[in-house]
C-alpha cells in the first residue's frame, strides 16, 4: 500500500474570497468514495441553494486515479478543472472541494474565473488540516506475564502504538509498526526477552499522521 495525503476526516474546512463584487466560498472535505463525494456536494448545494454556481471537483483512490470536476454552469474549463488542478497540485486524494460563487454583476472573463476558482480552492485547502495516511503493519505479540513490564517499558520508550492488550493466561498485545521497522523491532525484542515471545504479522492498515 502506498502512503497518501488527504484532509482530516469528519471535518469541513472553509475559506472565502471576493473579487469584483463576486463572492467565492470554498468548502473542503475528506471523502472515501464517489458516493460520499456526491453527498458532500449535495450538502453544500442545499446550504447555498441561492448561489449562482456551486462548482466542484474531487480526487479519489490511493493513487489519486479517480478524478471528476463540474463547472455547474460556468464556461467550460473555467471552474471545475481549476479546482481539480489545485487539489492535484497539493498532492491530495480522497478529497472533495466545492467552490460556491455569488455573482456580483461584473463579468470576470475566462482567465479571471480560472484564477478566482483556483485561488479560492487553494485558500480552502490551506485552511484544511492535512494528514498523511500512513501504512502500518499490525503485529500480535504473545508473552508471559513476567516479561510484561519489560516489554511495555520498551514499547513506551520507542513510542510504539499499542492497539489492544488482552490479559488472559498469557498477555497478547497488538501493536502498529512501520513496515520497514518490523525486522529491527523483532531483533531488539528478541534480545530484550531472550526470545521469550511469539509474534504474528497481521494486516496492514492506514493511520492518519499529521503533516
DSSP of 56-108, one letter per residue? EEEEESTT--EEEEE-TTSSTTSSHHHHHHHHHHTTB-SEEEEEEEE--SS--
What was the pLDDT predicted at 1? 55
What was the pLDDT predicted at 48? 98
- 21 lies in the same domain as 66: yes
| Neighbouring-strand partners of residue 138 | 176
**Domain stop point among 65, 97, 128:** 128
**Domain stop point among 128, 154, 180:** 128
Helix, strand or coil, per DSSP, at residue 181: helix
| Neighbouring-strand partners of residue 65 | none
- 95 lies in the same domain as 196: no
**Domain stop point among 104, 128, 152:** 128
- 21 lies in the same domain as 96: yes
- 173 lies in the same domain as 200: yes
Q: Is 61 left (phi over 0), alpha (psi -120 to 50) or beta?
A: left
What was the pLDDT predicted at 2? 79
Please report the DSSP string for 109-134 in residue order. HHHHHHHHHHHHHHHHHHHS-EEEEE
Q: Which residues, 6+ apart, have CB-to-CB distance to 27 below 8 Å?
A: 12, 13, 14, 40, 44, 97, 98, 99, 100, 124
- Which H/E stretch holds residue 188? helix 182-193
- 113 lies in the same domain as 174: no
- 46 lies in the same domain as 59: yes
Q: Using CA atoms, how far apart are residues 124 and 201, in angstroms rounded to an integer?
A: 40
- 150 lies in the same domain as 113: no
In which domain, by residue range, is 57 found? Answer: 4-128
- 17 lies in the same domain as 38: yes
Cα separations in angstroms, 72 against 18, 154, 187, 208: 19, 56, 58, 33
Q: What CATH number has the domain bearing residue 31?
A: 3.30.230.30
- 26 lies in the same domain as 116: yes
pTM above 0.85, yes or no: no
What was the pLDDT predicted at 150? 93
Q: How many structural domains compose the chain?
A: 2
Please compute Rg for the chain using Cα positions.
24
Q: What CATH number has the domain bearing residue 183?
A: 3.30.70.240
pLDDT by position in tens, the chain (length 211): 578 999 999 999 999 999 999 999 999 999 999 999 999 999 999 999 999 999 999 999 988 999 999 999 999 999 999 999 999 999 999 999 999 999 999 999 999 999 999 999 999 999 999 999 999 999 999 999 999 999 999 999 999 999 999 999 999 999 999 999 999 999 999 999 999 999 999 999 998 988 8
Cα separations in angstroms, 208 against 6, 68, 130: 9, 24, 9
- 109 lies in the same domain as 46: yes
Distance from chain centroid for Cα 189: 33
- 13 lies in the same domain as 70: yes
- 105 lies in the same domain as 50: yes
- β-strand 66-70 against 53-60: which pairing, if any? antiparallel
Amino acid at each position: 500500500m502506498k502512503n497518501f495525503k488527504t484532509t482530516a476526516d469528519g471535518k469541513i474546512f472553509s475559506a472565502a474570497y471576493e473579487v469584483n463584487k463576486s463572492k467565492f466560498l470554498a468548502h473542503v472535505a475528506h471523502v472515501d468514495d464517489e458516493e460520499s463525494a456526491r453527498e458532500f456536494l449535495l450538502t453544500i448545494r442545499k446550504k447555498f441553494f441561492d448561489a449562482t454556481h456551486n462548482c466542484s471537483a474531487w480526487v479519489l483512490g490511493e493513487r489519486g486515479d479517480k478524478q471528476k470536476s463540474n463547472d455547474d454552469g460556468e464556461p467550460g474549463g473555467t471552474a471545475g478543472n481549476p479546482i481539480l488542478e489545485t487539489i492535484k497540485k497539493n498532492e491530495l486524494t480522497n478529497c472533495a472541494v466545492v467552490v460556491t460563487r455569488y455573482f456580483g454583476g461584473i463579468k470576470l472573463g475566462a482567465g479571471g474565473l480560472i484564477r478566482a476558482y483556483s485561488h479560492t480552492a487553494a485558500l480552502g485547502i490551506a485552511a484544511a488540516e492535512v494528514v498523511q495516511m500512513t501504512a502500518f503493519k499490525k503485529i500480535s505479540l504473545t508473552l508471559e506475564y513476567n516479561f510484561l513490564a519489560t516489554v511495555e517499558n520498551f514499547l513506551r520508550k520507542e513510542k510504539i502504538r499499542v492497539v489492544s492488550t488482552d490479559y488472559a493466561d498469557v498477555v497478547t498485545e497488538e501493536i502498529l509498526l512501520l513496515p520497514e521497522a518490523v525486522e529491527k523491532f523483532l531483533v531488539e525484542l528478541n534480545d530484550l526477552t531472550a526470545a521469550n515471545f511469539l509474534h504474528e504479522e497481521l494486516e496492514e492498515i492506514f493511520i492518519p499522521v499529521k503533516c
